[in-house]
């Protein structure tokens, strides 16, 4: 599958839709104080209309800082804060690519279990055209 290209305008529109639906977002950043650079971040989304569900969004650590447990710390710290602020949350949902072994490990260690599976298939249009022409459909 092609990489998703998100422009600043696309991101603004996505955020506008997200907030128009009543969603709230929290983000925790980790900064390297010595160099003044961002080292990683995590975000969660919550909607008061579905107060029992918290959606864990993106968690990422820049390559320079990986292998030190920072992703795990970011995610755990965020969840600790949000659960204290919103005790009505009963379920936390997150997504994970099967190819992302470090995050799969973190999610498994934290107790996340598969809830739903999404498989995306892709085919080149030339291949479909060849298939259709061979079958005279």
Domain boundaries, the chain: 8-135
Q: How much is the pLDDT for 98?
A: 87
Which tokens sit at 101? 């072994």
Full DSSP string of 1-12 = -PPP---HHHHH
Q: pLDDT (tens digit, 9 = 90+) per residue, 32-67?
A: 999 999 999 999 999 999 999 999 999 999 999 999
Which tokens sit at 20? 């128009």
Q: pLDDT (tens digit, 9 = 90+) per residue, 84-94?
A: 999 999 999 99
pTM, two decimal places = 0.81
For domain 8-135, the CATH superfamily is Gcn5-related N-acetyltransferase (GNAT) (3.40.630.30)
If we measure between CA atoms, which residue out of 56, 43, 47, 44 comes closest to residue 22? Answer: 47
Residue percentage of the chain with pLDDT more than 90: 85
DSSP class of 98: T
If we measure between CA atoms, which residue out of 52, 50, 98, 106 comes closest to residue 77? Answer: 106
Which tokens sit at 68? 């030190």
């Amino acid at each position: 599958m092609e990489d998703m290209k998100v422009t600043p305008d696309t991101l603004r529109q996505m955020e506008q839709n997200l907030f128009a639906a009543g969603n709230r977002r929290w983000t925790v950043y980790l900064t390297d104080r010595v160099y003044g650079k961002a080292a990683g971040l995590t975000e969660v989304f919550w909607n008061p209309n579905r107060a029992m569900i918290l959606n864990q969004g993106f968690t990422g650590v820049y390559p320079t800082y990986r292998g030190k447990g920072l992703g795990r710390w970011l995610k755990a710290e965020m969840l600790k804060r949000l659960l204290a602020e919103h005790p009505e949350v009963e379920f936390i949902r997150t997504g994970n690519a099967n190819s992302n072994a470090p995050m799969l490990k973190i999610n498994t260690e934290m107790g996340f279990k598969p809830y739903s599976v999404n498989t995306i298939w892709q085919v080149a249009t030339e291949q479909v055209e060849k298939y259709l022409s061979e079958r005279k459909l």
